[in-house]
Copies of this chain bind each other. A is one copy, B any other.
């Protein structure tokens, strides 16, 4: 089975730089996947993408070494299993707030006896290889989003879930849940502290800490702090910001 490059990176204590796809286009996905990303995540939660658009995006990414991942819209076995069947090598699941949430999530990522994933990796076999069944439980990544005050209270119960590979902080939702405005790079101390607490817990439990970042600078800072999965905003924001700058330049007289 094709190796999961993210696991290799993490075994060497490196940090994965993750692309975040919200534009429903395999053309954009393929163009971005030519770059030096470690992975690319198709966002089915907040992105304007559903499955019929996501399938060709996964195919477009597959001609590169970038690891394809999917953020599912919610903690539901149908979506989690479909993501893996379609060839994703990692699933990021929102709103894991309790141990029970996390067990349901991780169970959906693994074949028995570790979990209850249903067999039928139609595209997984193409992307991963014919020995998929033998290695899937070991290669594919289960990544739980920690993004609520409730999750903060359950960090150890969540992170000690057997088979969980990584956690992924959603700073915006965490901020809102803490009574703050949505924000990426923490402006409020309360959010900064929460992020540190989660990072420390991940380190303590030996699982990979990840975080959604609002900028490349934030990603670099978070890497310096010890995060090993950092996302550089999303495709639409990168595009719009670059275009806005170009327009301003062009209009300067």
Q: Which residues of A contact B (CB under 8 A)?
A: 17, 19, 22-28, 30-32, 34-37, 43, 45-53, 55-56, 59-60, 62-63, 73-74, 76-79, 81-82, 85-86, 94-95, 111-113, 116, 118-123, 126, 133, 147-148, 170, 172-173, 176-177, 179, 181-182, 213, 215-217, 219-220, 223-224, 230, 232-236, 238-253
Contact = CB atoms under 8 A, between A and B. Distances in A.
A31 B120 contact: no
B22 A25 contact: no
28 contacts: A17-B251, A19-B243, A23-B27, A23-B28, A24-B52, A26-B59, A28-B28, A28-B236, A30-B126, A31-B126, A32-B239, A35-B240, A45-B118, A46-B81, A48-B86, A52-B52, A52-B53, A56-B60, A73-B78, A73-B81, A76-B78, A94-B118, A119-B176, A217-B249, A219-B249, A220-B250, A232-B247, A239-B242
Contact of A181 (B74, B133, B234, B247): B133
A97 B67 CA distance: 34
Closest 4 CB pairs of A and B: A46-B120, A50-B51, A242-B242, A74-B78
A244 B6 CA distance: 20
Contacts of A43: 120
B56 A247 contact: no
Given A35-B244, A112-B177, A112-B179, A216 B249 contact: yes
Contacts of A112: 176-177, 179
Contacts of A26: 55-56, 59
A31 B240 contact: yes
Contacts of A28: 23, 25, 28, 236, 239
A247 B85 contact: no
B236 A250 contact: no
Contact of A250 (B62, B79, B126, B216): B216
A242 B238 contact: yes
A78 B241 CA distance: 28
Contacts of A232: 243, 246-247, 250
B239 A241 contact: no
Contact of A133 (B37, B182, B244, B248): B182
Contacts of A86: 48
